[in-house]
Every structure is written in C-alpha cells, then in structure tokens.
C-alpha cells in the first residue's frame, strides 16, 4: 500500500514520517494512510488552536499604552517567545508567522530597553537574553528540535532513542544541545543497549553506531564517567 505524506507536515505527521519504513521502529510496518490522516488532523487542530491564541495575543499588543509597565511588556514578550516555539511545530509554511512574531517582539524589546534607561546591568541582561533568544529561535528552525521541545511532543520516551539514532547527522549535532549532561549520559547508555538489540536481530547498525558516537562525544567526560 502506497503511503503519502504532506510536503510540509506538522509535528505529528513528521514523527510518523520518521518512523515509516525505518527498521529502528518495529511498529513502522503497521503505519497506514489512515494513521497519517489522523496525525494530519491533530496537526490541523493544533493550528486552529494556535491561530485563535495568537490572534488574541496580537489584539492585546495592539491595545498597549504608549508608556506601558515593563513587566506587562516582558510578559507579552514571553508569550510571543512561546508562540514562536509553538508555530514551529505546525504544518505548512510557518515562516510568515515566525516573521510576524519577530516583528512584534522588536518594538516591545525597544520599549523595555528604553525603560531600563542608563542601567548598565539591566541593559547587559537584556542583551544577553536577546542573544539567547536568537540562538533558541535558530534551533527551532530544525523540525526535530521543535518537535522535541513541544509540550505535547509526539516523540515519546520510548521513541526518543530510535528517533535520535535515525536523525540526520547535521540535525542531530544541533539538537544534542537541548540535553543536559545527565540526560546525554542516560541516552548513551540506552542507545548502546538499543543498538545491541538491533544487532542481535540482524539489523544493520552502522548508521546508529555513528550517531551513538556523536552522543558520546557530546557527553561531558565527567558525566560519562559516572
């Protein structure tokens, strides 16, 4: 039976796409077009909910006073940050939404900076937060990173290791920054056992072994020793 995926799937369909015809996922053989349609519907429901929330947020920003309290502005900025992350999991071309969010964040941050006045420490902290946000937003351009960070991520605990071991090497190298030293140590141990099980089943493990090496290299020596 032929399986058809969307050209720009959302996170639920993306995970099925990662699993489909992938020997690291035994359940991949049972994935049907009906499963894909159901995942597509979940992604569309997420889009509908996002757009409703986002429109409300835009309306609140439009009603801001000329000299609004800094805390109000920071709360709105935090919600825009969350919106950027959420939209990165949606189907279709989300770049216009991302750009709209960036366009909303910019004047809010300028207002916050004006509120900080000549407070060097406050301005330095804002600059640092800007740099961290830029790095985080760049990471969210990667579908795997966006899907891993989603509060309702389709990548379950059991699916995490096979998902990472079958990811593209460039994408994997970047998403490993999402994990703490302790998490990386745990992933290395779990991935090692997983690859051993694959080998026992006669499944080729060259690709997974390469990705395991990347996990090991990303794990701090102190953590790997424990």
Q: What percent of the chain has pLDDT over 70?
A: 97
Residues 140 and 177 in one domain: no
User: Is residue 188 situated within a structural domain?
Assistant: yes
**Contact predicate 212/189, CB 8 Å:** no
Residues 130 and 184 in one domain: no
Q: pLDDT band for position 207 (50/70/90)?
A: very high
User: Is residue 89 situated within a structural domain?
Assistant: yes
Residues 136 and 162 in one domain: no
Least confident of 75-89, 102-116, 145-159, 204-218: 102-116
Residues 121 and 171 in one domain: no
User: Is residue 31 situated within a structural domain?
Assistant: no
Return mean pLDDT, the chain: 93
Domain boundary among 146, 169, 198: 146
User: Is residue 19 situated within a structural domain?
Assistant: no
Residues 59 and 82 in one domain: yes
Domain boundary among 95, 115, 146: 146
Residues 139 and 65 in one domain: yes
Residues 141 and 59 in one domain: yes
Three state DSSP letters for the chain: CCCCCCCCCCHHHHHHHHHCCCCCCHHHHHCCHHHHHHHHHHHHHHHHHHHHHHHHHHHHHHCCCCCCCHHHHHHHHHHHHHHHHHHCCCCCCCHHHHHHHHHHHHHHHHHHHHHHCCCHHHHHHHHHHHHHHHHHHHHCCCHHHHHHHCCCCCCCHHHHHHHHHCCCHHHHHHHHHHCCHHHHHHHHHHHHHHHHHHHHCCCCCHHHHHHHHHHHHHCCHHHHHC
**Contact predicate 50/87, CB 8 Å:** yes
Residues 65 and 142 in one domain: yes
User: Is residue 15 situated within a structural domain?
Assistant: no
Residues 118 and 164 in one domain: no
User: Is residue 168 situated within a structural domain?
Assistant: yes
Residues 141 and 162 in one domain: no
User: Is residue 110 situated within a structural domain?
Assistant: yes
Residues 188 and 103 in one domain: no
Total tally of structural domains belonging to the chain: 2
Residues 132 and 179 in one domain: no
User: Is residue 65 situated within a structural domain?
Assistant: yes
Of 95, 9, 223, give the one whose Cα is nearest residue 19: 9
Q: pLDDT band for position 95 (50/70/90)?
A: very high
Residue-range definition of the domain harbouring residue 61: 53-146
pLDDT digits (tens, 9 = 90+) for 18-43: 999 999 998 888 999 999 999 999 99
Domain boundary among 118, 146, 174: 146
pTM for this entry: 0.91
């Amino acid at each position: 039976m032929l399986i058809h995926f969307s050209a720009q799937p959302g996170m639920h369909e993306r995970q099925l796409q990662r699993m489909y015809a992938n020997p690291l996922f035994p359940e991949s053989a049972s994935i049907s077009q009906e499963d894909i349609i159901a995942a597509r519907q979940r992604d569309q429901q997420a889009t509908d909910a996002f757009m409703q929330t986002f429109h409300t947020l835009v309306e609140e920003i439009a009603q801001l006073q000329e000299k609004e309290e800094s805390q109000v502005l920071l709360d709105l900025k935090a919600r825009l940050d969350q919106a950027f992350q959420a939209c990165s999991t949606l189907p279709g071309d989300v770049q216009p939404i991302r750009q709209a969010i960036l366009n909303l964040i910019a004047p809010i941050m300028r207002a916050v900076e004006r509120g900080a006045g000549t407070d060097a420490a406050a301005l330095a902290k804002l600059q640092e937060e800007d740099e961290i946000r830029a790095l985080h937003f760049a990471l969210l351009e990667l579908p795997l990173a966006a899907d891993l960070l989603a509060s309702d991520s389709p990548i379950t605990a059991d699916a995490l290791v096979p998902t990472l071991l079958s990811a593209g090497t460039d994408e994997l190298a970047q998403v490993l920054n999402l994990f703490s030293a302790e998490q990386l140590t745990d992933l290395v141990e779990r991935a090692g056992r997983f690859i051993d099980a694959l080998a026992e089943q006669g499944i080729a493990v060259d690709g997974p072994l390469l990705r395991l090496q990347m996990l090991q290299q990303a794990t701090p020596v102190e953590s790997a020793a424990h």
